[in-house]
A and B are shown apart, each in its own frame.
Chain A
C-alpha cells in the first residue's frame, strides 16, 4: 500500500514519482547516468518537495505552492518549432550565437552551430547517450548538495546544452541559450554544463520564456584559472520556475553573474558558487520585477573555500501588487580562506502597500582575517525625491516610473555588454509602462 510509504505525499509529489517511473526507461544515458538518476530520485522521493520546515526553503513552500504537475514535454512538433523560430524579441538586437531549445529539446536546425576555434557545443541528451567524457566528469559533481529540487532535476534531466571553451579561447560573440515554449503547458527538466577552461573568455546568456510551462533548470558551470566569464540569466513566465546555478571557480578568474527576472507565479533562483582558487573577483547580481501575486525567491550560497577572493552580491527587487520577493544570501568563509573580501546587499522597493519583501542574509565565517558584510533594506519610494521631480514638471506617475527605473537601472549597469544592458533596461521600462 502506498499509504504505508508516505502518508503525506501530495498529488504533485505523486505525479512526479509517476512521471519518473514511466519515463525512466526512455531518459537519455545508461550505466553511470542511470545510477545517478536512480540515486537522485531516491533522495527526492524520500524527502518529497521542499516545504517550509526545510530552512533553505522556508519562504517558498513548494509542497504547498506546487499544486499540479504538467505532463512531461515530448519532442516538439513542427508548429512548436515554428513558434520558437520567431521568439526572443527581447534580445533580437544582439549579435550572438543562438542555441534554441523548444520545450526543453535542442532544436539544432534553429541553432547557430557554425564552427569556431576552441568552442565545442552539443546537447546534453546526445552527450548522455554517448557517455561523453566531459559530462561524465562533471554532471552531478560540480557542487555537492542535498537540495531536493536539484535531486529532482538530476533524476529527470532531459536535455540542455553542453559547452566546452578550450583554454585561452576568447569566444567571439555572446552565446545565447534560448529556452522557448512550444505553446502547450508542459513539465521540463533542463540540465546544462558549461566548462570554461584556463584563460578562456565568454559571455553566456540563458533566456527563458516559459509561458505556462513548469521548468526545473540547472546549470553546472566550471570556470578555470584566469578565465573571464559573464553569465546572464533572463527569466519570464507565468508558472513555476526552479533554476539552479552550481559553479566552481578557479584561481585569478573574473566572473560576473546577473539574474533578470520578470514575474512568475512561483520562482526560485538558487545559486551555489564555490571559490576553489585564490585571487578571483566575482560579482553575483540580479534584479527582480514583480506584480500581481507573483512570488520570486532568490537564494545564494557563496562558498569562499579559497582565500584572497573578492565577491560582491547585489540584488534589487521592485515589488508591486500583492507580490512577494525573497532574498536569502549565505556567505561561507572557510577556516583557511584568509583575506576574503565579501559584501552582500539586497534592496527591495515596495511600490504597493500589499507587497512583501523578505530578506535573510547570513554570514558563516571561520577565518579570522576577512572583510565581510551585508546590508538589506526594504522601503517605499522616497517622497522627497518624488517631490523634487514633480517640482520640475514631471507628473506623479512618470516621476515614480523614473525613480523605479533608476533603482533597477543602477544594478543593470553592472552588465558590461552594451546591447544586453540596453535590452534589459528596455525590458524594465516596458514592465513599468504596463504598470500604468
Chain B
C-alpha cells in the first residue's frame, strides 16, 4: 500500500530525512518509534503534503502512485489521513460544518455523490458517541477551548468519518492521561480493518499496549534503522534509544 524509497527531505535548508526506506502492507499497523529529532513527525507531515517540507530525493508510492507533488487535499481524497500531534484550533468553523465540508469535498474529488443530511448526521452521531463526544462539542468551533484529550478524540472522529485507507497517527498519545489514552486507542482499534493501514508514530511504548502493532520500525537520524515485531517496542522501553543513535551515527 505504501512504499517509501530513499526519501530525502529538507526543512528550512536542513536535511531531516536522509534516505528513508519504509514499506507498509495493506491492513498492517506499523509503529514508528524513535528519539526526539529522529524525523518521525517530519515523515508524517511529508506524507500529508505540508508545503514547507521539501522533498529533495526519493519516492513515496501510495497504491503504486507517486504522491510527491500532489496537493494535501488530493492525497486526502486518495485515502490518506494524518492525525495531527497538535490539532489546530479553527475559530469560527463549527466542528460539524468542518466534518461535513471535508467528507463532501473528498467525495466530490473522487467523483462520488455528497452524503445526504440524514446519512451524514447518523454517521456523526454514531461516531461521536463511540468516542464520548457530545453534541455540544460538535456545535463548537473546531478544537477551540477543547482539552488535549478532546482534541485527540476529535482527530480520531475525523478519521472515522473520512474512512482513510492509510492513517498516520502522529504522537496521538502525547498529552493524554490514561483514561483518554484508552478511549482514543479504542477508537483507533475500532477502525482497524484488513483494508486499512496505519502508521502509529510514538515516542513511548505505552500507546502500543493499547494499539498493538503488527510491526515496529525504529527511526534515528532520518532513517529507519531497525524493524521487528511488537516485542521490539518492549526492548526499546527497557534499553532506550541510545544504541540506535550511535548506530545511525556510524552508518551516516
Contact = CB atoms under 8 A, between A and B. Distances in A.
Contacts of A385: 88, 90
A389 interface: yes
Contacts of B76: 390-393
B93 A394 contact: no
Nearest to A413: B92
A231 interface: no
Nearest to B106: A393
Contact of A406 (B48, B75, B84, B93): B93
B91 A410 contact: yes
B84 A393 contact: no
A387 to B, nearest CB: 6
A392 to B, nearest CB: 4
A406 B102 contact: no
B162 A393 contact: yes
Interface residues of B, number: 30
Interface in A326-374: none
Nearest to B83: A391
Interface in B60-92: 71-73, 75-77, 81-82, 84, 87-88, 90-92
A402 B100 CA distance: 12
Contact of A403 (B90, B106, B162): B90
B91 A406 contact: yes
A393 B92 contact: no
Q: Which of B105, B141, B162 has most A Cβ within 10 Å?
A: B105
Contacts of A410: 91-92
B92 A395 contact: no
B162 to A, nearest CB: 7
Interface string B121-161: 00000000000000000000100000000000000001000
A394 B87 CA distance: 16
B187 to A, nearest CB: 17
B105 to A, nearest CB: 5
B77 A393 contact: yes
A407 interface: yes
B49 A391 contact: yes
A384 interface: yes
B92 A388 contact: no
A396 B101 contact: no
A390 B109 CA distance: 12
B178 interface: no
Nearest to A390: B72
Contacts of A388: 84, 87-88, 90
A394 B50 contact: no
B51 interface: yes
Given A387-B50, A406-B93, A394 B105 contact: yes
B51 A383 contact: yes
A391 to B, nearest CB: 5
Contact of A395 (B91, B97, B109, B162): B109
A424 to B, nearest CB: 14
Nearest to A408: B92
Contacts of A395: 71, 73, 105, 109
Nearest to A406: B92
A398 B90 contact: no
A405 interface: yes
A402 B101 contact: yes
Contacts of B90: 385, 388-389, 403, 406
A383 to B, nearest CB: 7
Contacts of B50: 387
A283 interface: no
B203 to A, nearest CB: 22
A383 B82 CA distance: 17
Given A392-B105, A395-B109, 17 more contacts: A387-B50, A388-B87, A388-B90, A389-B102, A390-B49, A391-B72, A391-B73, A392-B76, A393-B76, A394-B101, A396-B71, A402-B97, A402-B98, A402-B101, A403-B93, A405-B92, A406-B92
9 contacts: A384-B88, A387-B50, A388-B87, A390-B73, A391-B82, A392-B158, A393-B73, A406-B91, A406-B92
Interface of B: 48-51, 71-73, 75-77, 81-82, 84, 87-88, 90-93, 97-98, 101-103, 105-106, 109, 141, 158, 162
